Structure 1
Amino acid sequence: MSKAKKVLEEAMESNILEIDLVDKSISLFEELPGILEMTHITRLTLSHNKIQTVPPGLANLTNLEILNFSNNQIGELPLSLSSMPKLRILNLSMNRLYNLPRGFGAFPVLEVLDLSYNNLSEKTLPGNFFMMATLRALYLADNDFEYLSSDIRNLKQLQILVLRENDLIELPREIGELSRLRELHIQGNRLTILPPELGNLDMTSNKSVFKFEGNEWVNPIKKQLELGLSHLVEFLKSEQYRILHNRYLTNKPQIPPPCVDKAKKISRIR
């Protein structure tokens, strides 16, 4: 009997709520008999396996609150996934996702979404992606984003936004409307300027985190960063910077080349 089947049998006998199947060499859900009927479970961890396909029937687990598929080989997700009524935390990091299914942003209560280390971009997100009103943390690190939609303004509850190691060329002004944002990670991109509206956010308190290293900032921003983060924030709020920013938008600085060879990403993390 495989280790995975043994875990499932014990879970069925004990009627436990949390199932841990980390690093069990699972490739197919067919290796997990009965799991799609375990509608009582609240947590399912399948990280560090070799799963390529997620069955639509997974949505039958209507009491599931936490689902972890980190570090698998998933290239496609079922439409039904976003219909899970109680799912609060979804980890799909370190997979092979090039796109997301239509309607993916329909999760009713999702709070944490981790899509780090995939192959997503602004061109492959569904139209309702930024409509997850309950989202508190969004991890999009190590993907292929060059731009971020202005629709990000809809994530009113967002506190953590991680965009490091993409190909971001600019950030939308609407990011300044995320009044609850306390962590912003934009290091390792192709950014040269910042929207003045970023100065609206509380990025200098003891509870805030702002990571910006590894970008090719224009000299005025670079100089302020050398003085300290608080200097940068005040500079972004100034009329002087608004004038400079408008000038940069008219005569854009030279955009740096992509930071890394994204084609090598999968081999780099496995």
Structure 2
Amino acid sequence: MSQSCIPVSAKMSKAKKVLDEARETHNPELDLVDKGLSSFEELPGLFTMSNITRLTLSHNKISVISPGIANLLNLEILNLSNNHLSELPVSLSSMPKLRILNVSINRLNNLPRGFGAFPVLEVLDLSYNNLNEQVLPGNFFGMETLRALYLGDNDFEYIPKEVGQLKNLQILGLRDNDLLELPREVGDLVRLRELHIQNNRLQVLPPEIAQLDLLSNKSVMKMEENPWVNPIAEQYLLGISHVIDYLKTETYKIIYNRHLQAGRSGPPPPKADKSKKASRIRA
């Protein structure tokens, strides 16, 4: 019998069994991966379990997160990756202890107002959705506690300069977007150790990136599959350290400024076709 043919009562009893066991053993970690769930209504009494610290609901078919999730005041880790979510509730960002939120591989086209209000969020994974710079709420870059931000596999052409406010950010994932340029303010992210910008439409990098510590043995910089200007492409063939050194030169600063002036009036590199992407599918 396929998952979709299983009656709701059977799915519910499977999930209910997990909930009942957790209640009996006072287990603060709930694992509901791949249980064929399509709504929170199939999880009776979940929001009264205020001791829960970790809730994993990945690989289901949930399309809406009930606002009642904010009742889980002790929740620290919420994983809803690989579901059918097209929006998130405003209440999510008021959760006082939430440190890790994974809503990757969904169908998000926007984010709720005030989404950046999370008080202690450290890891936010929004990769593989349909987001762009137009739908980021005004306070998105107010999450000063953020250590890792994953925005890969979305539709960003630009990253707002406010990204420089994320003073504790160590990992910034921007691969597989439509990025035409990075803001100079990326150079303000003094704790950044991983920068993933591969497979975009970038031709130049802001010279300020050379200020970052992206060359130590614990650092990662990925920049392949971009239509770089020739001088960057040549240095990249020699290695990332050569690119970073080159960004520091006066010659490059002149090229960069010229490119910005010309680039904004000339045609941008073509976009990749994302029409077949799973996140585009309408439920």
Structure-2-length-normalised TM-score: 0.92
Structure 1 residue 263, shift from structure 2 partner? 2.3
Instruction: Measure the CA separation in 2 of the matches of 1:90 and 1:131.
Output: 16
**1:197 partnered with 2:170:** no
In the aligned structure 2, how far is the partner of 1:268 from the partner of 1:39?
35
Q: Corresponding residue for 1:212?
A: 223
CA distance in 1, matches of 2:280, 2:220: 27
Alignment match, 2:126: 115
User: What is the alpha-carbon distance in structure 1 between the residues aligned to residue 85 and residue 241 of structure 2?
Assistant: 42
CA–CA separation in structure 2 for the residues paired with 1:168 and 1:122: 10
What is the alpha-carbon root mean square deviation over aligned residues? Answer: 1.3
The 5-angstrom pairing of residues 166-181 of structure 1 reads 166-181=177-192
CA deviation after TM superposition for structure 1 residue 14, in Å:
1.4
Per mean C-alpha deviation after superposition, the further-off stretch among 6-15 and 16-25 is 6-15
In 2, are the aligned partners of 1:115 and 1:140 still within 8 Å (CA)? yes
CA contact (8 A) 1:40 1:63 kept: yes
Q: CA deviation at 1:262?
A: 2.0
1:28-61: CA deviation from partner (whole Å, max 9, x where unpaired): 1110000011111100000000000001110010
Contact kept, 8 Å, 1:138 with 1:158, in 2: the verdict is: yes
| Runs of 4+ deviating beyond 2 Å | none
Comparing 219-228 with 86-95, greater Cα deviation is found at 219-228
8 A Cα contact 2:106 2:279, kept in partner: no
CA contact (8 A) 2:129 2:279 kept: no
Deviations 1:199-238 (A, max 9, x none): 1111111111000010000001111111221111111011
Native 8 Å contact 2:107 2:280 kept in 1:
no
The structural deviation recorded for 1:268 is 9.2
Secondary structure of the 2:172 match is strand
The 8 Å contact of residues 144 and 262 in structure 1, kept in 2 or not, is answered as no
- Report if aligned partners of 2:64, 2:86 keep a CA contact under 8 Å in 1: yes
TM-score, scaled relative to structure 1:
0.97
Conserved 8 A contact 2:107-2:279: no
Residue from 101, 106, 109 that aligns with 2:117: 106
Runs of at least 5 residues in structure 1 that lack an aligned partner in the other structure: none
| 1:152 is the counterpart of 2:160 | no
- Unaligned segments of structure 2, at least 5 residues: 1-9
Q: Contact 1:5–1:32 (CA<8 Å) still a contact in 2?
A: yes
Q: CA deviation at 1:176?
A: 0.5
Shift in alpha-carbon separation, 1:267–1:95, aligned structure 2, 3 A:
closer
Q: Report the residue type matching 2:55 in the other structure.
A: L
Q: Work out whether residues 130 and 279 of structure 2, in 8 Å CA contact, stay in contact via their aligned partners in 1.
A: no
Structure 1: how far apart are the matches of 2:113 and 2:20?
35
Measured in 1, the distance between the counterparts of 2:66 and 2:132 equals 24
Amino acid at match of 1:26: L
Specify the alignment match of 2:145 in structure 1.
134
2:154 aligned with 1:143: yes
Q: 1:36 aligns with which of 38, 47, 50?
A: 47
Query: 2:279 and 2:174 mapped to 1: Cα distance?
Result: 21
User: For residue 4 of structure 1, what is the aligned residue in structure 2?
Assistant: 15
- How many Å apart are 1:188 and its aligned residue? 0.5
Question: Would you say 1:161 and 2:202 are equivalent positions?
Answer: no
Identity %, equivalent residues: 68
Deviations 1:171-212 (A, max 9, x none): 000000101000000000011111011111111111110000
Counterpart AA for 2:121: L
> What code does the residue aligned with 1:80 have?
S
Which residue, 24, 35, 55 being the options, matches 2:35?
A: 24
Say which SS state the counterpart of residue 93 (structure 2) adopts. helix
Higher mean C-alpha deviation, range 174-183 or range 223-232: 223-232
Return the alpha-carbon distance in structure 1 between the equivalents of residues 238 and 57 of structure 2.
45
Distance 1:166 1:73 in 2: 21
SS in 2 for 1:54: coil
- Distance in 2, Cα, partners of 1:250 & 1:256: 16
1:263 aligned onto 2:272: no
